[in-house]
């Protein structure tokens, strides 16, 4: 973008338009509404269970009955969708993650209940195996401990199909296996699930900002000191992100995700400008935890910083934002 400057000071005083609230609003380039927000939620087995996530103050793991109440609040605030993440009991974890595609599993039952209670609320499900594996990796390992791509995709297909058959509106593969979007799209088409949307985590980086999320899922202890750098992206790369997104779109993704969020807004901007597709970003658990620590210590003003941080996503070009601040932000916007 280039600018042609035809006038100079004092004919042009940029502060003129900043003087009053009405004129600042008139020239505002980006806007934030509840429709831009998606709330990530953690569901666990049982009834009347609520477990705080120590590293994410204000975020709880909830049993389905309590999650349904939460979903009612989300819907009333005008937030269009929630993203569902399961907390799987240890006895259901295995080397091959068979529980991931159990039609009677926690996610599948939760999807059915949510769609019955709030049919107009969008339900996004995470397609990945790390909640279900004993080692905490997003795929199935070979004898050397390397995540097998094609073998993992076979299981992801079953998982995505089970979510779609349960009624998920959007399946969101976050595993970063090669070719999984095309394979999932193919099986959804084959099973006449034409309108099940795919939100691909196309540019998911091997980031250290995910720690609190893994605490919430209970996968941190399973993963131990291992990392996911053999399949998640190198934080140094952005050209590769464009390549990843283009491949996923060609394979049938309806929208794409950049993760993490604020440290990677340059990638969000590139994807939106260069490919002009529905682009989402995730303000991840580490970002949330850092903000909350500053709020609780009185170092930053919570309400204004929450809205400013989310506006940054919109300014960068994000069409929507997954954020643990979704409810609070929606309430602030409506004031």
Active site residue ranges:
204, 259
140-141 vs 147-148, strand pairing mode: antiparallel
DSSP structure string for 229-250? TTTSBPTT-SHHHHHHHHHHHH
| Integer angstrom CA distances of residue 217 from 88, 90, 170 | 7, 11, 20
Structure token digits, residue 51:
């477990």
Are 51 and 61 in contact by the 8 Å Cβ rule? The answer is yes
- Cβ distance 128 to 204 under 8 Å? no
Question: Residue-wise over 149-187: b if at least 16 C-beta within 10 A, else e?
Answer: beebbebbbbbbbbbbbbbbbbbbbbbbbeebbbbbbeb
CA dihedral 323, 325, 326, 328 (to 10 degrees): 180
**Distance of alpha carbon 246 from alpha carbon 244, whole angstroms:** 6
How far apart CA 332 and CA 318 sit, in angstroms, is 20
CA-to-CA dists, residue 300 to 28, 231, 293, 294, angstroms: 24, 36, 9, 6
CA distance 74 to 72: 5
C-beta separation of 107 from 146 below 8 A: no
Q: Assess contact for 124 and 156: CB atoms under 8 A.
A: no
Taking only Cα atoms into account, the Rg of the chain, rounded to an integer number of angstroms, comes to 21
């Amino acid at each position: 973008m280039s600018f042609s400057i035809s006038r100079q000071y004092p004919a042009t005083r940029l502060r003129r338009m900043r003087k009053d609230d009405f004129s600042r609003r008139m020239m505002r380039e980006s806007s934030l509404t509840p429709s831009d927000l998606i709330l990530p939620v953690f569901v666990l087995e049982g009834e009347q269970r609520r477990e705080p996530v120590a590293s994410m103050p204000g975020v709880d793991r909830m049993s389905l009955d309590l999650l349904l109440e939460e979903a009612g609040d989300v819907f009333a605030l005008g937030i269009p969708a929630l993203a569902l993440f399961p907390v799987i009991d240890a006895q259901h974890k295995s080397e091959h993650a068979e529980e991931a595609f159990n039609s009677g599993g926690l996610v599948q039952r939760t999807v059915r209940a949510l769609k019955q209670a709030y049919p107009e609320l969008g339900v996004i499900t995470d397609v990945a195996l790390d909640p279900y594996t004993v080692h905490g990796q997003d795929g199935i390992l070979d004898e050397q401990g390397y995540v097998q791509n094609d073998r993992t995709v076979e299981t992801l297909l079953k998982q995505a199909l089970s979510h779609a058959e349960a009624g998920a509106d959007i399946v969101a593969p976050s595993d970063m296996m090669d070719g999984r979007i095309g394979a999932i799209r193919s099986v959804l088409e084959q099973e006449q699930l034409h309108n099940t949307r795919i939100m691909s985590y196309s540019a998911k980086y091997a980031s250290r900002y995910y720690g609190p999320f893994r605490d919430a899922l209970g996968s941190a202890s399973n993963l131990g000191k291992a990392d996911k750098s053999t399949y998640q992206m190198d934080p140094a790369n952005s050209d590769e992100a464009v390549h990843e997104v283009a491949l996923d779109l060609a394979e049938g993704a309806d929208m794409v995700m950049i993760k993490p969020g604020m440290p990677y807004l340059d990638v969000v901007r590139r994807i939106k400008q260069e490919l002009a597709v529905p682009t989402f970003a995730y303000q991840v658990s580490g970002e949330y935890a850092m903000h909350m620590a500053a709020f609780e210590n009185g170092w930053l003003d919570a309400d204004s910083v929450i809205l400013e941080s989310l506006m940054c996503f919109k300014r960068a070009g994000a069409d929507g934002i997954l954020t643990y601040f979704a409810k609070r932000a929606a309430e602030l916007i409506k004031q």
